[in-house]
Amino acid sequence: MSREKVREYAVATGVEDPAYTADSAEIPSNELIAPPTFAACFTVGRTDLFDDPELGAHTNLVHGNQSYELHQPIRVGSTLVCSPQVTDIVDRGRMELLTLQIDCADEATGEPVVTSRGTMIFFNAPEEAD
């Protein structure tokens, strides 16, 4: 995670806290962190997870909800290893609710950094009348 990407994110989201926008010369590199919501940059866009043929073809997808559990600050310069898994699939007639959890850990220490949980709502095509 680079200092520049964190700064770009902070500017784009209106974050003015110097902890996220300061020049690296102003703050020691081991103290530079990303805003907690920066986790969305590396957890939300995992559409490749929905290519599983067992899930079927879903052309109508809505992002239902999203939550993050931060175990420690997201540190600039760290490399995170993220492991996704589908934790639940619920059939609601014309809808299927898929819950996805992504656990991200610091590659160097193995310690958990952030857990993302989100629900995707897939709308199935209506059955054709006989």
Side chain identity, residue 88: D
Q: Per the confidence metrics, is the pTM higher than 0.85?
A: no
Cβ(119)–Cβ(65) below 8 Å: yes
Residue 36 lies in a domain: yes
Cα torsion 112, 122, 9, 4: sign: positive
Tally of domains within the chain: 1
pLDDT at 12 over 50: yes
Cβ(34)–Cβ(1) below 8 Å: yes
pLDDT digits (tens, 9 = 90+) for 61-111: 788 899 999 999 999 889 999 999 999 999 998 899 999 999 999 999 999
Residue 130 lies in a domain: no
Task: Show the domain range for 88.
Answer: 3-123
pLDDT digits (tens, 9 = 90+) for 36-66: 889 988 886 555 655 666 655 556 778 889 9
Cβ(122)–Cβ(60) below 8 Å: yes
Residue 129 lies in a domain: no
